Structure 1
Amino acid sequence: MSPSGVETCGTMSPLDQNETSCIIQFKESLSLELMPSDERRNWEKRSIYKVRPCIANLNSKAYQPQVVSFGPYHHGKDCLHPMEEHKRRALRHFLKRSGKPLECFFKSLREVAQVLEESYEELDPNWKVGSSGDAACQFLKLLITDGCFMLEILRAGPQQVTQAEQEKDDYADDDPIFSKHGKLHVMPYIRRDMLMLENQLPMLVLDRLVAVESDGKKGDQFINDLILKFFSSPSKVTSKCLHVLDVYRKSLLPPENEVQDKLPKGSRGLIWSATELHEHGIQFKKSGTTSLKDISFERGVLKLPEISVDDTTESAYLNLIAFEHCHAGVGNEVTSYIYFMEKIIDKEGDVALLEARDIIQNGMGSDQAVAQVFNSLGKEVTLEPESSLDAVQNQVSDYCKKAWYTWGATLWNTHFESPWSITSFIAAILLFGLAIIQTVYTVLYP
């Protein structure tokens, strides 16, 4: 017995036969597990995840497709079944327009079937390539059907098309999905579902389909541009992406070659709402870009990127945050932005102030609705330590602690909000100055 009263390994009583057998089985089970290097390789291959219950339970509807499923996670759900016939119809259009037989697309995806399977964090055995030949066939059929439908949706898009594009369009004028009516009433819901983390297709699926269709003339950049055009994004994404949600996320961030300035570190300070910051002398201005990282603070001016808020904003950003939570190494920029904005947007008055500065474009009608969106997005999110936004928060907090700025802001907000009050103040100063000059003149020259 050791001095502490705990038996050491060498002094413990020997194991009986049942315990020895148990230990042997335990060791054998461990030997069947993947080595750390193999586990890491598996993690690196994953890009499509099931949203964790602790996150999904806060707003389950935001992570569940309402109109169409892409990939295996939500395939077969009753509420999404009506879109299946449109998928098959779109596949026929895609094959006819490409001039290639279905076998060519099937063979191309079969070559990378294992890689495609490993892109999913959780996959039912019925879809796994190694389970049986039928499972592999069903998995590839699903990806081809959904991939071609997604490409057709991206190609059609909700935006206005040119005359040349209209001539290439082989869908009927009364098509439920691809007509003007469908683009107006159905496409917005499809676009929303395409930004859900559980509803993604590996980019490799689209790459392979486009490569076969174009005889290898089109690749990653063509697909990135197609996605950005579909979501009306002015950004350019040149890096290789994992799926549609990844392209959309990168379009919200600075270009890959842009270097962010390093800001001073410090202990995290509190940050108040926009109206409270305004009362402390802080002015708000729109940044020069729409990048979520283009937030800066200098000489009492807080610059924020413009953001449009509508009925799809909450769902899109919740899925972007979930993607950052699940995919190690992707970054934390969207989560940090939402954390920061939730702090400065508390009530409708904060929204109104940012609207007046052209920072928020309100597509929801009421300022209160916009405030509720940011309050909902801010649940269960944290700011990454030592990030650029952490430094901005510290700068804003330090500025607000200076009494002179607070006194000056109070004076300005109380007496100089109106241009007429400023004019009156200047006139009073001039009259006071003239009165002093007249008094001095009278004394010197009686």
Structure 2
Amino acid sequence: MDPLLDLESGTNHELSKPVPGVWRVPTTDLCCIYRVPNCLRRVSPESYTPQSVLIGPLHYSLKLQALKSRGDITNARLVDYLNMEEHKKFYLAEFAKRPEGKNIIDGFKRVIKEDEAVIRASYLESTAWIKTPKFVEMILHDSVFILEFMLRRSVEAATEKTGDPLIDEPCLAQEINRDLILLENQIPFFILEKLFDPTVSKLREKTFHQLTIKHFEFQDEKGSDAKFRHFTDLLRRVRVETVPDHAFERCYESMYQMYSADKLDGGGIKFEAVENPLSVLVTFEKGVLKIPKFLADDDAEITIRNIMALEQCHYPFNSHVSDYIMFLDFLIDTKEDVSLLVEKGNIFILN
């Protein structure tokens, strides 16, 4: 057998040794977090790659790489990763300063250890190459980082610096939020709820679910009270919930081609913008095509691509967001199509 290099020890092992990237097969119903397929990644790799913070086991090898690069500032991305690994330690220490913080953290470790098998089963890739002590430590640091970041962001805006760059510098906070919604950068939500519901209710009189909904600004959105598997799934859920149940019960034929927006307009079809930018419900009635507004800002591509990757991996027969984007792709073929939809209010572009 060909030898493989173990990332931590640097020693050679046989191919039978657990290594990163190997699938767990067969999968179970618990599986919900995936590495983005290469056929999607190669189109826009940056859309799926964390810029600052690495969460969960799918990027654990990158964490090790960042730690080994300590002192080398030639790779800015690894420097950012290293800074965030240190910041996780800072947040854990700060959390421990809360009343009963040390005892709570010890309790977190016990809960993670008890649910270790279920957490591992949430990933398509085997995490067996990460030994239990390291796995528990990773989930603990990543989870507490998420909680502490959300708690700090949930308070009213400070009028002076706090000493925490993630709170003091808006661009860093925005970058963290982008990283937290990436498909490969997820921790199963059930363990976050199990760990933090008792703590959050004492600190903010909310559940962790409510804190999450507030953090991502979905308080008034349909589907915000629905269950979800992780943050990427939440972003999909609030969109899919805009489609009425009866629409799922109907059978539709696959659509392989369609006239573009400009040609439809020339044929007398009217366009009407639906105000909810999270909606994926398109209707056509009495010559009027009603399409939700599509907000084209810096985050739109990252968000949509990660939701579509989740649908390809987890919801292949209910890929409603992907279907909606494909519909828009049919509509938009030329710059005239874009101009028309912007004019009609269906696309709102933020530079």
Q: Give your verdict on TM over 0.5.
A: yes
Confirm or deny: 8 A CA contact 1:63 1:196 kept in the other structure.
yes
2:180–2:186 Cα contact (<8 Å) kept: yes
- Residue 13 of structure 2: aligned partner: none
Contact 2:224–2:238 (8 Å) recurs in 1: yes
Which moves more between the two structures, 55-64 or 229-238? 229-238
Q: Paired residue for 1:195?
A: 181
Mapping of 1:26-65 within 5 angstroms? 42-65=27-50
Unaligned runs of 5+ in 1: 1-37, 128-134, 365-446
Tell me the alpha carbon deviations over residues 341-398 of structure 1, each in whole angstroms, 9 at most, x when there is no partner.
111112333222222222222113xxxxxxxxxxxxxxxxxxxxxxxxxxxxxxxxxx
| Amino-acid identity (%) | 27
SS of match in other structure, 1:259: helix
Write out aligned runs for 1:102-141 (5 A). 102-127=105-130, 135-141=131-137
Equivalent residue for 1:356, pick from 323, 340, 343: 343
What code does the residue aligned with 2:136 have?
Answer: L
Tell which structure's C-alpha radius of gyration is larger: 1
Question: Is the 1:109–1:208 Cα contact (8 Å) retained in structure 2?
Answer: no
| Shift in Å, 1:198 | 0.8
1:314 aligns with 301
Letter in 2 for 1:186: L
Aligned to 1:95: 96
Instruction: Provide the C-alpha distance between the structure 2 equivalents of 1:215 and 1:304, rounded to a whole number of angstroms.
Output: 40
Task: Tell me the SS of whatever aligns to 1:308.
Answer: strand
Query: What is the CA deviation profile of residues 202-224 of structure 1, one whole-angstrom value per residue up to 9, with x for unaligned ones?
Result: 112211221342579999x8333
After superposition, what is the alpha-carbon deviation per residue over 1:115-143, rounded to whole angstroms, capped at 9, x for unaligned?
0111111134331xxxxxxx211111111
Q: Say whether the 8 Å CA contact 2:197–2:208 is kept in structure 1.
A: no
Q: Which amino acid aligns with 2:341?
A: L
Distance 1:98-1:113 versus aligned 2 partners, 3 A rule = farther
User: What does 1:329-368 align with in structure 2 at a 5 Å threshold?
Assistant: 331-364=318-351
The alignment partner of 1:241 has SS state of coil
Matches within 5 A, 1:278-297: 278-287=265-274, 289-297=276-284
CA drift of 1:148 comes to: 1.0
What residue number does 1:396 align with? none
TM-score w.r.t. length of structure 2: 0.78
Q: 1:259 offset after TM fit, Å?
A: 3.4
Higher helix share: 1
Structure scoring higher RCO (CA < 8 A, sep ≥ 6) equals 2
Cα distance 1:331–1:174, how it changes in 2: closer, same or farther (>3 A)? same
- 1:383-422 paired onto structure 2 within 5 Å: none
1:114 is paired with a residue of what secondary structure?
Answer: helix
In structure 2, the partner of 1:81 is 82
Q: 1 CA distance for matches of 2:108 and 2:317? A: 30
Of 243, 258, 261, the residue aligned with 1:271 is: 258
Partner of 1:178: 167
Matching residue of 2:8: none
> Which residue identity is paired with 2:125?
E
> CA 1:239–1:345 in structure 2 vs 1: closer, same or farther (change >3 Å)?
same
Structure 1 position 267, deviation (Å)? 7.3
Change (3 A) 1:124 1:95: same
> How far apart are 1:291 and its partner, in Å?
4.5
Contact 1:194 1:244 in 2 (8 A): yes
Question: Once the 2 structures are TM-superposed, how far is the Cα of residue 332 of structure 1 from its aligned partner?
Answer: 0.5
Q: Secondary structure of the residue that 2:295 maps to in structure 1?
A: strand
Q: How far apart are the structure 2 equivalents of 1:227 and 1:215?
A: 13
2:36–2:309 contact (8 Å) kept in structure 1: yes
Which amino acid in structure 1 is aligned with residue 109 of structure 2? F
The aligned amino acid for 2:284 is F
The two structures have a TM-score, normalised by structure 1, of 0.62
